[in-house]
Structure 1
Amino acid sequence: MKQHTNKPEQVTVAYQLLRWTVLVLPVALIVGSLVALFLWLLDKSTQLRFEHEWLLYLLPAAGVLIYWLYRLGGKNAERGNNLIMDEIHQPGGGVPARMAPLVLLTTVITHLFGGSAGREGTAVQIGGSMAAWIGKTLGLTERDIRILLMTGIAAGFGAVFGTPIAGTVFALEVLAIGAMRYDALVPCLIAAVLADIVCSAWGISHTHYHILYTGTHLTPYIPFVKADLLLLLKVIVCGVAFGLTSFLFSWLIHAIKYNANTYIKIPWLIPVVGGLIVIAMTFVVGTRDYLGLGVNSQSPDGISIVNAFRDTAHISEWSWLWKLVFTAVTLGMGFKGGEVTPLFFMGAALGHTLALLLGAPVDLFAGLGFIAVFAGATNTPLACTLMGVELFGADHVLYFAVACFTAYYFSGHSGIYASQKLMVSKFEH
């Protein structure tokens, strides 16, 4: 039964907003600053790799270094994002503060020597570990620490991509399939916005993507239907392909990790073998465009996320699959980094290919793949739809939503995060 008090609800709300603003402020300052440092180091390491191509041949040795750094000082920090999610679901041993410097350093090492990885996972781990450290230092309750951990996820995600609204919803949506925790909504929004501001204040700029398609319709409008129906049908078809790509990536990375640990009995040899496979695949494909982040390529006309938005770009019809395999091998065999930027690459390249095949706008479908493959792999269709709006504008939000929601369903119940809970099934059994 609801208890009645003389204190108006608005007073309680105002107090909570003020309290969480104060609690979240140090999270945003520290996480925003560390993410800025991380992005700066990532840019410098990528430029060094472009200038010194021989660094790729040291990738196996870099893998051994990463293994021993975690073996000597990592302990449970090795579990990364899954540890943070488990602590939010059921508080246990805590998230160690050493996770932040370890994952920052080892991700930069991965990129410097040519591993195919991203940056979201690193930013989220920085956010979660710093939030846990601040919560412990302040002596907060378990409930407050759980919310603070979610603000760390939002701050890291929002700052690393410059998308604070998507970062907020991602932190709420990623924990469980089919459910969101609204008790952390405002704290996560405050953290994501402030961390993005702090990161930008350090002089960090984010890549700008442009969808120039303005709605020159391929078929006439039908009255009262505010969409090009033929184009919408093509979006749905591509959404299915994006979801299946998400499923393939999630399955492959887990399969590689399982088999590597099963059949390679000496643990430090796993990244050595992974590094050798990446080097061999680079020779097979005849390009280095699948190494590193893939946002930009070493050559202005190379295969990259930015170039996937151009209909004149030389994107191979199998570029998306090569990036998928390169990333699954890199992360599945012990190197560090996130999965999201490679997922952007896979989606944009696949969207580019499908657009040419279907006679659809290349830049629009590259953008749809960019967000939809990510939506399927992380089971976060709402966050990814909002990311599309923040990155590309709101003109095509209907297509963003259709692509992300379709990919979400067709990716099945798999995902890149093993600790993600299944709360509501995507289909009736």
Structure 2
Amino acid sequence: MQRKIIEQVTLLVSVIKWTCYASIVGVLVGFGTAAFLRTLSWTSVQFARIPDYYLLLPLTLVVCSILVSWLAPEAAGHGTEKVIEAVHQRMGKIPLMVVPVKLVATVITLAGGGSAGKEGPCAQIGAGLASAFGGLLRLEGVDRRKLVICGISAGFATVFGTPIAGALFGVEVLVLGHMFYDVLFPSFVAGIIGFHVASQLGVNYPHMSAKIIPLMTSWSFMEMIMLGIWCGLIALIFIELMQLVQRLFTRLPWPPFTKALLGGGLLVVIGKGVSTRYLGLGLDSIEAALNGTVLPVGAPFMKAIATAITLGCGGSGGVVTPIFFIGTAAGNLFAYLFNEPLVATFSAIGMVALLAGAANTPIAASVMAMELFGAGIAPHAAVACMVSFLIVGYRSIYPSQVLGMQKSTSLKVSTGRTLGEFDHAEIDHRGTSFLGVVAKGMKRARGRRGTKES
């Protein structure tokens, strides 16, 4: 009896402790996010007053590149990737200098017309503030890491106005196939508190319901499976394109500012020769698609190219907002190709399905669909998100994500490594599945080709 009482008291103390810690983190992240979004809004207005301001992209990206490389190299790229790396490799230790540098560098990149997102900086700012708070309290490594995960969750919750999905994203994105249930409660607390603090500070979250949601019939069920496959394939293309462009810029034997000049010049060509809709956040195009407007056929691919160039050449910013654009455009294109009248609905589901595939977060993406578009979209979005998640396989927009599960019983893989280290040639294809047959056929073809060459 005494043991049970001690156990219950210990659990109660733990709940109170993490409620306090997570609430403080939520308040810090709420203020940080509000400051970032207000700064971004003001700076974007100033840049917009300049005619054809995107022509200054080479200069703005050079400034961003120099700022990051000199003051805080950890602030490079799309933010969330560095935070995941810190959680897995450094027990959540993040230099406090990352917070102001990431804020300024991202504002410069986005306001100048760079194609990136605003969620990565909020996640990195939130994680940096949480890490500093943990250091101030002299917490042990495990507890500090929990606080940092709460900071990630609060960052996503406050930037998109989705407190539940944001909290889930923070605990789901770290390991493919596993969730940190011991951090789930404080992540919810941090996300909800951060959302309310940011709202009270004037941050607006324009949520809208999908225009028309079809009944879940046998045909609509098949359509969601096909849409999930479609979004998974486009997510795979985006992931590979991001890695390819990053490798190409890395191999250039030039200083960072020269690479930024080249990337900025390429973005100017896209803006001048194709369309400026693929520069910046692209929120106007996302809103248009969610209202039923048909976007250009090449929209998802042009946005992917612009984002890969921006982040590959030295720009700073997130990657989820571009994923929203690409997913919305992918669902929009799917509806156009199949002559579907429900363009807005397919665009909305495409938005979250591509996030589920690219980031390997099907649960968070499904919940986000409900928070953004209403509960009626849940069954359709969940099916598309899960299919997209499976189609992408063992790839991710975040290479530091750790592999924690096998997506198919026909594939034998070793878990515990980051997806960036994962060699896809090591997959052992088992059984008589389609993938197994293809793998065996390719192996035989290579063997015959080697025999002929010898």
Q: Is this a same-fold pair by TM over 0.5?
A: yes
Shift, 1:93, TM fit = 8.4
- Could you say if the C-alpha distance between residues 236 and 314 of structure 1 is closer, same or farther in structure 2, counting changes exceeding 3 Å? closer
Number of the residue aligned with 1:44: 42
How far apart are the structure 2 equivalents of 1:53 and 1:120? 28
Question: Is the contact between residue 83 and residue 95 of structure 1 (CA under 8 Å) also seen in structure 2?
Answer: no
Shift, 1:421, TM fit = 0.4
Question: Is the contact between residue 176 and residue 402 of structure 2 (CA under 8 Å) also seen in structure 1?
Answer: yes
Shift, 1:373, TM fit = 0.8
Shift, 1:206, TM fit = 1.4
The percent of aligned pairs where both chains have the same amino acid is 34
Q: Secondary structure at the match of 2:281?
A: coil
Number of the residue aligned with 1:13: 11
- Could you say if the C-alpha distance between residues 337 and 5 of structure 1 is closer, same or farther in structure 2, counting changes exceeding 3 Å? same
Shift, 1:43, TM fit = 2.2
How far apart are the structure 2 equivalents of 1:383 and 1:15? 29
Q: Secondary structure at the match of 1:396?
A: helix
Q: Deviations over 1:163-187 (max 9, x none)?
A: 0100111111100111111110101
Number of the residue aligned with 2:218: 229
- Could you say if the C-alpha distance between residues 135 and 57 of structure 1 is closer, same or farther in structure 2, counting changes exceeding 3 Å? same
Shift, 1:146, TM fit = 0.8
TM (norm. structure 1) is 0.91
Match among 297, 311, 316 for residue 331 of structure 1: 311
Shift, 1:6, TM fit = 4.7
Where do 1:90-239 residues align within 5 Å?
A: 90-91=89-90, 94-215=93-214, 217=215, 227-239=216-228
Number of the residue aligned with 2:452: none
Question: Is the contact between residue 210 and residue 309 of structure 1 (CA under 8 Å) also seen in structure 2?
Answer: no
Q: Deviations over 1:230-274 (max 9, x none)?
A: 111111111111011111111111111111110243222111110
Question: Is the contact between residue 157 and residue 163 of structure 2 (CA under 8 Å) also seen in structure 1?
Answer: yes
Number of the residue aligned with 1:23: 21
Number of the residue aligned with 1:70: 68
Instruction: Provide the aligned length of Structure 1 versus Structure 2.
Output: 408
Match among 310, 335, 344 for residue 363 of structure 1: 344
- Could you say if the C-alpha distance between residues 53 and 253 of structure 1 is closer, same or farther in structure 2, counting changes exceeding 3 Å? farther
How far apart are the structure 1 equivalents of 2:115 and 2:84? 24
Question: Is the contact between residue 62 and residue 110 of structure 1 (CA under 8 Å) also seen in structure 2?
Answer: yes
How far apart are the structure 2 equivalents of 1:33 and 1:396? 32
Shift, 1:209, TM fit = 2.8
Number of the residue aligned with 1:400: 381
Number of the residue aligned with 1:291: 279
TM (norm. structure 2) is 0.86
How far apart are the structure 1 equivalents of 2:370 and 2:226? 21
Shift, 1:336, TM fit = 0.6
Question: Is the contact between residue 76 and residue 314 of structure 2 (CA under 8 Å) also seen in structure 1?
Answer: no
Question: Is the contact between residue 120 and residue 160 of structure 1 (CA under 8 Å) also seen in structure 2?
Answer: yes
Q: Secondary structure at the match of 1:293?
A: coil
Q: What code does the residue aligned with 1:207 have? A: P
Greater shift, 204-213 or 6-15, is seen at: 6-15
Question: Is the contact between residue 270 and residue 276 of structure 2 (CA under 8 Å) also seen in structure 1?
Answer: no
Q: Deviations over 1:203-252 (max 9, x none)?
A: 1101223312143x5xxxxxxxxx21111111111111101111111111
Q: Deviations over 1:334-370 (max 9, x none)?
A: 1011111111111111211211222331111111111
* RMSD between aligned residues: 1.7
How far apart are the structure 2 equivalents of 1:387 and 1:92? 28
- Could you say if the C-alpha distance between residues 10 and 264 of structure 1 is closer, same or farther in structure 2, counting changes exceeding 3 Å? same
- Could you say if the C-alpha distance between residues 141 and 263 of structure 1 is closer, same or farther in structure 2, counting changes exceeding 3 Å? same
Number of the residue aligned with 1:244: 233
